[in-house]
Structure 1
């Protein structure tokens, strides 16, 4: 790193430091070790030990090479096989989360996209170069930072050629092959224009900046140091690999232990030939030298995700309820039930949210409007959430009246703040509102706003003579506010006539 010039100004205070410059400086001094990255990933992602190991090594190799190139620019001109990565495995096992955690740890921009959104030039769809432009956007327009970012492309198996061998499960026609070819130059090294031909807004902004005579912006970004990771489920590929391994294993040499494993676990035996036969271009596969398969998740793994992962969806639900000052306990038996049901969903860790949403949905709807501040989730709650919720509400029915009573006063306070009038709700009025709320399943707020939405106009007429703007609200007023206003106006008019001096 070049030392500062003699006589240069003192460093800016911490509050004025450019966060992007700090990230680039960290890349210049990259010193993470593979085990350190693995340990960081262990905090967020359960299982996938082999994937963590492979990714940690590949990330360190890549950014160590970037660091050396920054120290000695002449290294840039030498051939270097970039550590682009292919992740194989079923949905919901943590492929995207692994890469997002790594990017967050290093601090580099991260972009994720599905391969199916892109198409070959000339077809309807996105341009693969948009990935790199999105990386610049993720870096807040800082091209210098974006050139060290990570691009993650999911569902890459969906652009396999349909013209592949029978049983390959290839997903698309010639446009899929075109997307693969277009990705080749990005994954190795090329200059990408920062302005898309289809992005009229960006072109107009660039022209305006040129007319203003400001500092010219970079027009391109080089992909030399951008790391590309692609992933896919490759569903039917595991069947092909399974058959290949079984045909190669005869008699006692066969590995009978593999018979009980999910088909997706055979992906760890994938060879380049298998992926090419699936419908991927040989050149494309060759640009992905680092290859690792993620294993499917078992119920016990899903339990660990709920209980130990720092990014657990269970913590998200706790935060949601905490917003209403509500807490909950979940028993070990309930966690086991959630994990078991989530495993049956067949969507990996995503199944946890499906099950938890079904369990918590009505609790989240009902409890914020009650006085209940804690509840317990047991195994039978996961099986029959409505039954548990109904029992919980019934046991707190008496307390609910106190909550509704407080809401009446809350409405009165809001009305006073908005219109300047004091509404003194009498006991019979409060009781009437509470009964109507329970009968109609409407909140006190909705009932009061429905009945008193134009009430302030009539009160304004009544207060023009300087009378204190305070009014008693009885049950009769709650039942028919308009009739009560008319009655008050008539009474006030009659009182004014009585008080007027007699004509001489």
Structure 2
């Protein structure tokens, strides 16, 4: 019984592992059935085919095997693996030549024999542990009735994102119409709905990326978020333009049909603007915009499966981008100056003249942006034309920063309160303290990202000192503490609570 039990355990352990290709290192579940060349050497069909193709075409300047001449020991040249002899040899003569080192193998390469690689101490068969794949329930293809209405999408976004009502409306309608377009069919009237890609503008820290990340969690659709900073023109170091589609394919579990109905968010799109007064080749600017034109409008592109570069040894597949919604976002620094310059071109003399500094303090000047301003910034007209929907996010005011601190489901204050609850300490903030934090964060001019940096500065001593004393029950952050005029208010636990804790 013990031997049988040990045998079953060994079989179970063997089933948990799988072999992988010795060249491309892909496991059998990805590369397909492996070809076993030696007991300890396996190669996938793709690598085997590439190896045979390289030998047939010749490598490193060598002619292919079909053109090579071989000179065996008897001095008679051979070509194409066939020895040129007028008189065929008998079996005894071939055996005698084989003893002298002449081997006619599989139609015959003279003086060549296959070596037993196991004699050279080859390592054991490479194996990796199998990934436990959860069986997913088979769900129907996209149904128009299962797509939430725009007001429901916005209501879900309101739980996580404060303000930006206009931007949330535009995104909700764009996603809803995108999937209605996919489900609709061209009827007899011949009306075909075209997709409307989106360009999202806004100052840094206003919530562009966070808004799309939240949308990715709420919607059960494949969504890929990538940066445009790593994209370069084809043939240069960096990611190919098609790599954005590869990330979407990976987010869809390599399901091409599911990926073709997904959403791609390209962040930092302003970084690929045309370089001004540059006499060098712009491999990461205008050329990237031109390469993205076919992706935005819709085209069939070849992308690798399970890799981000075409140079990798991975199988390729074709993805149609006609039904993929593209959302491009960027901070577009100095675009405000371009908008102000255009607005100040109006009459400066006479009764209808405008003050030149009337837009100097307008934080939401980007709300008046036009296509000509974006083109002057460095985006080519063909690229702007494929992003017809322009969504501008508002700059965060002091009141919005206070709401961001406390209202969202994943608010920063709630995160610190949960951290101190693990130490059985109640953390509270006075309303004046919240406004003091918001004022300090607004002075840094980096948007909502400054809130955490300000809180980390003032919470450091509290998080360090509280674990020293088990009697602390409540900590209240005051405005005087934030303005460096006092200390936080600390309340101790009552005596019955201490006795309960000791018991």
Match of 2:6 in 1: none
Partner of residue 154 from structure 2, selected from 38, 41, 65:
38
Structure with the larger RCO, 1 or 2 (CA within 8 Å, 6+ apart): 1
Kindly indicate which of the two structures has a greater share of residues assigned to strand.
Answer: 2
Task: Decide whether the 8 Å contact of 1:20 with 1:145 is kept in 2.
Answer: no
Distance 2:234 2:306 in 1: 12
What is the aligned partner in structure 2 of residue 240 from structure 1? 338
Task: Evaluate the alpha carbon distance shift between residue 305 and residue 272 of structure 1 in structure 2; reply closer, same or farther with a 3 A threshold.
Answer: same
Report the Cα offset of residue 173 of structure 1: 3.1
Measure the CA separation in 2 of the matches of 1:233 and 1:172: 25
CA distance in 1, matches of 2:301, 2:239: 15
Match in the other structure for 2:14: none
The equivalent of 2:290 in structure 1 is 181
SS state at 1:365 partner: helix
> Alignment partner for residue 376 of structure 1, among 470, 476, 493?
476
Separation of aligned partners in 1, 2:285 and 2:137: 39
**CA separation of 1:41 and 1:198: change in aligned 2, threshold 3 A:** closer
Q: Given the superposition, is the C-alpha separation of residues 59 and 262 from structure 1 closer, same or farther in structure 2, using an over 3 Å criterion?
A: farther
- Give the alignment of 1:86-485 within 5 angstroms: 86-163=199-276, 173-195=282-304, 206=315, 219-248=317-346, 253=352, 259=358, 262-371=361-470, 372-384=472-484, 388=487
Provide the C-alpha distance between the structure 1 equivalents of 2:346 and 2:284, rounded to a whole number of angstroms.
35
Question: Do the aligned partners of 2:307 and 2:314 also contact (CA within 8 Å) in 1?
Answer: no
Deviations 1:41-80 (A, max 9, x none): 2222222222222222222221210121xxx3789x9865
Q: Contact 2:243–2:308 at 8 Å: present in 1 too?
A: no
Does structure 2 conserve the Cα–Cα contact (< 8 Å) formed by 1:90 and 1:264? no
CA distance in 1, matches of 2:216, 2:288: 25
**1:267 Cα deviation (Å)?**
1.7
Q: Distance in 1 between the 2:216 and 2:237 partners?
A: 31
**Residue aligned with 2:322, SS:** coil
2 CA distance for matches of 1:45 and 1:261?
28
- Cα separation, 1, equivalents of 2:281 and 2:170: 30
* 1:443-466 Cα deviation digits (max 9, x unpaired): xxxxxxxxxxxxxxxxxxxxxxxx
> Structure 1 residues 182 and 87, CA, compared in 2 at 3 Å: closer, same or farther?
same
Partner of 1:47: 163
- Residue pair 1:114, 1:153 contacting (<8 A) in 2 also: yes
RMSD: 3.8
| SS of equivalent to 2:264 | strand
Q: CA deviation at 1:297?
A: 0.8
CA gap of 1:57–1:258, structure 2 versus 1, over 3 A, is: farther
Question: Does the 8 Å CA contact 1:262/1:296 hold for their aligned counterparts?
Answer: no
Cα distance in structure 2, aligned partners of 1:323 and 1:256: 57
Structure 1 residues 57 and 257 mapped into 2: Cα distance closer, same or farther (>3 Å)? farther
8 Å CA contact 1:111, 1:138 repeated in 2 = yes
What is the alpha-carbon distance in structure 1 between the residues aligned to residue 388 and residue 458 of structure 2?
43
Contact persistence 1:161–1:172 (CA under 8 A): no
Q: Which residue of 2 aligns with 1:411?
A: none
Q: CA deviation at 1:331?
A: 0.6
Aligned residue pairs, count: 363
CA distance in 2 between partners of 1:200 and 1:125 (Å) = 9
Q: Is the 8 A contact 1:164 1:279 kept in 2?
A: no
- Find the residue that maps to 2:338 and give its secondary structure: helix
Q: Hey, which of these two has a bigger chunk of helix by percent?
A: 1
How far did residue 253 of structure 1 move?
A: 4.6
Q: How far, CA to CA, are the matches of 2:346 and 2:236 in structure 1? A: 43
CA distance in 2, matches of 1:205, 1:363: 52
- Structure 2 vs 1, CA of residues 337 and 364 (structure 1 numbering), >3 Å: closer, same or farther? same
Q: Which runs of 5+ in 1 are unaligned?
A: 1-15, 166-170, 207-217, 407-504
Q: Is the 8 A contact 1:235 1:264 kept in 2?
A: no
Shift in CA distance, 367/189, structure 1 to aligned 2, threshold 3 Å: same
